[in-house]
């Protein structure tokens, strides 16, 4: 069951009256609460958040940076996490008992994280280990539920982010002969290929058909890729790349590794959210880019760099709809609930899950 069905009805929804407020009034009220609470309140914002929200973030970052920050911060009593559900869960796992993590809209899930559930994962593990024995180390992209992180932690594996997948897969292949990579097949495939592992030594695990999509002997497979994807990044195509190249051959195409293998191969460069931001920040005036990642970030980079030409690789793409659920009214509502002493949208990972999930996160931090 998706977190939309599972969680939304159990939590109070923002009253409609917030929608009637002017932007100016909402901004003033957010600022007033931030000033009143000072360091006791922390607002982390993922790079894919809307401008109307990110302007109030105390810190912005990709998922690795925000996870690191959560592990370091001990001052904030309340952390209002402007990102998606799995990021807020990670934040809760890494923060102290007395700190409360709040997600301003509980419907801000991630369709990729929903593509691997525990039942499917337990079945996959049993069937795969029956075929290849105790030779698999599980890894999970942080874009996964806390339960999946806990599963991985229990089996000696680690989490990865798009910024450190290379290092973590390298480490994993020194521990065991093969890796099960959850839940994003594209990040797993693109990263393993960059590490020199041929596509013939990778196969996709289909959690619905409960089988490896390969004609080969499973013993030859080193990277088992879970059949999941990001519905935003999968929308970039090689056709869009060809069209841009035809229009202007000087445009450099840079994409996120959640894009398909074909798109990553056809692009000039590929890397995590932070990598994309760093390349553009370093580029000289007059540089031209077509960027294959989330739209809010591409628009923000274009606004921050008027001296460069920055467009989306797919100008018709919608932003990540779940990231976009966190808007100014929800941020204000969530802050006012905290201010009244009645925080809502609290993310609390049960201790039995958090302990093992933390092991998986710790292993990631140890090996990057
Ligand atoms: P990063 O790890 O690059 O922050 O990506 C998070 C995400 O959700 C990408 O779709
Ligand atoms: Fe999930 Fe994709 Fe949105 Fe990232 S961009 S939060 S992976 S749906």
Q: Count of CB atoms within 10 A of residue 175's CB?
A: 12
Q: In the sheet where 178-182 sits, what is the strand order?
A: 158-160, 136-141, 178-182, 223-226, 202-206, 211-213
Which atom of ligand 1 is found nearest the CA of 84?
8
CA 202 from centroid of its chain's CA atoms: 23
Q: What is the CATH number of domain 113-230?
A: 3.40.50.10800
**CB-defined site of ligand 1, < 6 Å:** 62-63, 143, 161-162, 230, 258, 272-273
Query: How many helices (DSSP H) and strands (DSSP E) are in the chain?
Result: 15, 16
Confidence bin at 315 (pLDDT 50/70/90)? confident
* pLDDT, tens only, 119-163: 999 999 999 999 999 999 999 999 999 999 999 999 999 999 999
Q: What is the pLDDT of residue 4?
A: 52
- The pLDDT value given to residue 9: 56
Å from CA of 144 to ligand 2 middle: 10
Q: Does pTM surpass 0.85?
A: yes
**pLDDT tier, 11 (very low <50, low <70, confident <90, very high otherwise):** confident
* 234-312 shares the fold of 113-230: yes
pLDDT one-digit tens code per residue, 239-293: 999 999 999 999 999 999 999 999 999 999 999 999 999 999 999 999 999 999 9
CA of 9 to the centre of ligand 1 (A): 27
Residue with tokens 């301003």: 104
CATH for 234-312, options being 3.40.50.10800, 3.30.420.10, 1.10.10.10, 3.40.50.970: 3.40.50.10800
pLDDT, one tens digit per residue, over 41-77 is 999 999 999 999 999 999 999 988 998 898 899 999 9
Q: Specify the pLDDT at position 1.
A: 46
CATH 3.40.50.1100, applies to 3-108+322-349: no
Q: Where are the domains of the chain?
A: 3-108+322-349, 113-230, 234-312
**Averaged confidence pLDDT in the chain:** 95
- Binding pocket residue ranges, ligand 2, CB within 6 Å: 84, 110-112, 143, 230-232, 294, 320, 322-323
């Amino acid at each position: 069951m998706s977190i939309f069905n599972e969680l939304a009805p159990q939590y109070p929804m923002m009253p409609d009256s917030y929608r009637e407020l002017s932007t100016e009034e909402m901004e003033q009220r957010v600022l007033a609460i931030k000033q009143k609470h000072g360091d006791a309140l922390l607002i982390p914002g993922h790079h894919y958040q809307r401008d109307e929200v990110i302007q109030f973030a105390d810190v912005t970052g990709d998922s690795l940076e925000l996870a690191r920050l959560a592990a370091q911060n001990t001052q904030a009593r309340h952390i209002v996490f402007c990102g998606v559900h799995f990021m807020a869960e990670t934040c809760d796992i890494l923060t102290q008992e007395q700190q409360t993590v709040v997600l301003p809209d509980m419907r801000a899930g991630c369709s990729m994280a929903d593509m691997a559930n525990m039942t499917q994962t337990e079945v996959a593990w049993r069937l795969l280990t029956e075929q290849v024995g105790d030779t698999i180390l599980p890894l999970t992209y942080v874009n996964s539920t806390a339960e999946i992180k806990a599963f991985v932690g229990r089996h000696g594996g680690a989490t990865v982010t798009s910024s450190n997948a290379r290092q973590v897969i390298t480490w994993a292949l020194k521990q065991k002969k093969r890796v099960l990579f959850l839940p994003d097949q594209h990040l797993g495939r693109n990263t393993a290929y960059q590490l020199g592992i041929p596509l013939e030594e990778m196969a996709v695990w289909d959690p619905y058909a409960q089988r490896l999509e390969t004609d080969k002997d499973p013993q030859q497979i080193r990277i088992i890729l879970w059949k999941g994807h990001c519905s935003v990044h999968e929308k970039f195509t090689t056709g869009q790349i060809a069209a841009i190249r035809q229009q202007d051959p000087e445009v450099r195409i840079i994409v996120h590794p959640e894009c398909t293998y074909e798109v990553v191969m056809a692009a000039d460069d590929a890397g995590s959210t932070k990598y994309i931001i760093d390349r553009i920040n370093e580029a000289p005036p007059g540089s031209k880019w077509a960027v294959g990642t989330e739209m809010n970030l591409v628009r923000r980079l274009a606004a921050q760099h008027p001296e460069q030409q920055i467009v989306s690789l797919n100008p018709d793409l919608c932003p990540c709809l779940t990231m976009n659920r966190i808007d100014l009214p929800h941020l204000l509502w969530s802050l006012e609930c905290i201010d009244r002493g009645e925080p809502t949208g609290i993310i609390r990972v049960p201790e039995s899950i958090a302990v093992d999930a933390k092991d998986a996160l710790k292993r990631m931090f140890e090996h990057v």
